[in-house]
Chain A
Amino acid sequence: MEPLDQELEEGELELPSEPMSLNMGPSHPAMHGTIRIVMELSGETIMKTDVQIGYLHRGFEKMCERGSWTQVFPYVDRCNYASAMLNNVGYALAVEKLLDVKTTERCQYYRVVLGELARIADHLTCNGAMAMELGAFTPLLWFIKGREMIYDVLEEETGARLTHSFGRVGGMAKPPSPNFKEMVRGVIPRILGILAEAESLLLSNRIFMDRLQGVGKITAAQAIALGWTGPCLRSTGVPYDVRKAHPYLVYDRFTFDVPVGQDGDNWDRFMVRLEEIRQSGRIIEQALDQMPDDGPINIDDPRIVLPPKDEVYNTIEGTIQHFKIVMEGIKVPAGEAYGYTEGGNGELGFYLVSDGSGTPYRVRIRPPCFAITQALGGLITGLMIPDVVPTFGSLNMIGGECDH
Chain B
Amino acid sequence: MSQKVLDILKSTFGSAILETKSEHGDETAVVATSEWRKIAKFLRDDSRTDMQMMVDLCGVDFPHREPRFEVVMHLSSLNLGHRLRLKTRVGDSDGDGAEVDSVVPIWPGANWFERETFDLMGISFLGHPDLRRILMYPEFVGHPLRKDYPADKTQPLIALREGFEKLPPFDRHEGMSFGRQVFRSGKAD
CA distance A124 to B110 in the complex (A): 30
Residues of the B chain whose Cβ atoms lie less than 8 Å from the Cβ of A20: 175-176
Contact (A38, B169) CB under 8 Å given A353-B60, A362-B60, A364-B58 = yes
**B56 contacts A366, C-beta separation under 8 Å:** yes
Q: Which residue of chain A is the closest to B26 with respect to CB atoms?
A: A338
**A351 contacts B107, C-beta separation under 8 Å:** no
Q: Of the candidates B52, B55, B166, B170, which one forms a contact with A366 in the assembled complex, judged by CB atoms under 8 Å apart?
A: B55
Considering only CB atoms and an 8 Å cut-off, how many residues of chain B contact the other chain? Answer: 45
Does B137 have its Cβ within 8 Å of any Cβ on chain A?
Answer: yes
Does A262 have its Cβ within 8 Å of any Cβ on chain B?
Answer: no
Residues of the A chain whose Cβ atoms lie less than 8 Å from the Cβ of B54: 227
Does A199 have its Cβ within 8 Å of any Cβ on chain B?
Answer: no
CA distance A52 to B134 in the complex (A): 7
Does A77 have its Cβ within 8 Å of any Cβ on chain B?
Answer: no
The 17 listed contacts between A and B (C-beta, < 8 Å) are: A21-B170, A22-B169, A23-B169, A53-B135, A54-B137, A66-B151, A227-B107, A229-B55, A238-B78, A240-B78, A335-B23, A336-B24, A336-B26, A338-B56, A349-B74, A351-B58, A370-B112
Does B136 have its Cβ within 8 Å of any Cβ on chain A?
Answer: yes
Contact (A225, B26) CB under 8 Å given A62-B144, A245-B81, A364-B58 = no
Contact (A349, B120) CB under 8 Å given A97-B25, A335-B24 = no
**B166 contacts A50, C-beta separation under 8 Å:** yes
Residues of the B chain whose Cβ atoms lie less than 8 Å from the Cβ of A134: none
Report, nearest first, the 9 A-B pairs whose CB atoms are least far apart. A227-B109, A54-B135, A226-B109, A366-B56, A374-B112, A21-B169, A337-B24, A57-B135, A364-B58
Contact (A347, B170) CB under 8 Å given A225-B109, A335-B24, A374-B111 = no
Which one of B28, B85, B145, B168 has the greatest number of beta carbons of chain A within 10 Å? B145
Q: Which residue of chain A is the closest to B147 with respect to CB atoms?
A: A65
Encoded as 1 (CB less than 8 Å from any A CB) or 0, chain B from 152 to 173 comes to 0000000000000010111000
Chain B proximity of A230: nearest CB distance (Å): 12
Interface of B is mostly: loop
**A54 contacts B136, C-beta separation under 8 Å:** yes
Chain B proximity of A90: nearest CB distance (Å): 13
CA distance A242 to B144 in the complex (A): 32
Does A141 have its Cβ within 8 Å of any Cβ on chain B?
Answer: no
Does B174 have its Cβ within 8 Å of any Cβ on chain A?
Answer: yes
Q: Which residue of chain A is the closest to B109 with respect to CB atoms?
A: A227
Starting from the known contacts A62-B145, A338-B74, A371-B113, 8 additional A-B residue pairs (CB-CB under 8 Å) come to A20-B176, A59-B144, A226-B109, A336-B26, A349-B56, A370-B116, A371-B109, A371-B112
- List residues 60-109 of chain A with CB under 8 A from any CB of chain B: 61-63, 65-66, 97-98, 100
